[in-house]
Homo-oligomer: A and B are copies of this chain.
Amino acid sequence: MVKLFCPATIANLSCGFDVLGLCLESVGDEMLVTKTTRKGVVIKEIVGADLPLEAEKNVAGVAAMAMIEALGLDFGVEITLYKNIKAGSGIGSSAASAAGAVVGINEMLYKPLPRKALVPFAMQGEKLASGAAHADNVAPALLGGFTLIRSYEPLDVIKMHTPPDLYATVIHPQIELKTADSRSIIKQQVSLKKAIQQWGNVGGFVCGLYTEDYALIGNSLQDHIVEPLRAMLIPHFEEVKQAALANGALGCGISGSGPSIFSLCKGESNARKVAQAMHEVYKDIGVAFDIHVSGVNDDGVRVMQVD
């Protein structure tokens, strides 16, 4: 039996649509994965969310089956999920489950695989959840810290340097916003001018991580392509963003495909101040919301206990 902490993640990080991601420290699910002599994957129980128990309809189940099948393992698993990350929140709820399942199985192997080798299995869970086998949440969930998907064909996932003093603030407005809907609003053609601004900012963001230049990280957290289209789907997005920036956030944008809004901050106390400012914007508008403040989880999915 393996007990796991399965972290929430922030994909895109404004400038890096479909390529950048970040793993959170203090927001996540828990999961129990138990080895069974009987082959196959059973989702035993899901606590805290109304999600399918059929393994082939469950992201953890699909990821687990993909790994078991690819490696030809001669055992099966039973999975119990304790969900804290709300489905559809935009902070990687499905990725946390997919990543947790494959790390759990990996612990049962005689020669565990490196975390990077688990990414393709977890991506199969994402394919079930959103229709696309994207890696921008499962990569940070598995590797921790800040990750870059340089390429999908071939898959090339890079874990980057984590500056010590970065904290994230996330507000999750509890509206329903499906990833598929949020993707359909994006235009498939973009202006070269905006694309150049975007890759300038991706370059700047990566420089900022390696040189621990917080101002550069903040300046690079700009999205000229996706945010202008998606922001309208999120209630009071602009006010939350302006409040975050006015209170010292390095940058603020849409987490993944939304509706969560994230900010990156230098220092925990600033992140708490920004959380308070976000709270002020939302407290009277009649939309339920959660707010999280979190450091960066540099490890990814954590194995908490092995029996």
Instruction: Report the stretch among A92-100, A204-212, A230-238, A283-291 that lies at the interface.
Output: A204-212
Number of copies: 2
Task: Establish whether residues A199 and B197, one from each chain, have CB atoms under 8 Å apart when the complex forms.
Answer: no
Task: Establish whether residues A201 and B151, one from each chain, have CB atoms under 8 Å apart when the complex forms.
Answer: yes
Task: Establish whether residues A219 and B156, one from each chain, have CB atoms under 8 Å apart when the complex forms.
Answer: yes
The CA-CA distance from A257 to B278 in the complex, in Å, is 46
Most buried by B among A17, A160, A193, A196: A196
Task: Establish whether residues A192 and B151, one from each chain, have CB atoms under 8 Å apart when the complex forms.
Answer: no
Task: Establish whether residues A203 and B161, one from each chain, have CB atoms under 8 Å apart when the complex forms.
Answer: no
The CA-CA distance from A148 to B15 in the complex, in Å, is 15
Task: Give the contact-size bracket for chain A.
Answer: 35 or more
The CA-CA distance from A193 to B20 in the complex, in Å, is 15
Q: Which of B148, B187, B220 contacts A150 (CB 8 A)?
A: B220
Task: Establish whether residues B216 and A158, one from each chain, have CB atoms under 8 Å apart when the complex forms.
Answer: yes
Task: Establish whether residues A148 and B188, one from each chain, have CB atoms under 8 Å apart when the complex forms.
Answer: no
A189 within 8 A of B: yes
A304 within 8 A of B: no
Given A189-B191, A190-B189, A191-B188, the answer on whether A204 and B158 have CB atoms closer than 8 Å is yes
Given A190-B192, A196-B19, the answer on whether A151 and B203 have CB atoms closer than 8 Å is no
A195 within 8 A of B: yes
A residues with CB within 8 A of B: 15-20, 148-151, 156, 158, 160-161, 186-193, 195-207, 210-211, 216, 219-220, 225
Given contacts A18-B200, A150-B219, A188-B192, 4 further A-B contacts (CB under 8 A): A151-B219, A188-B191, A195-B195, A203-B206
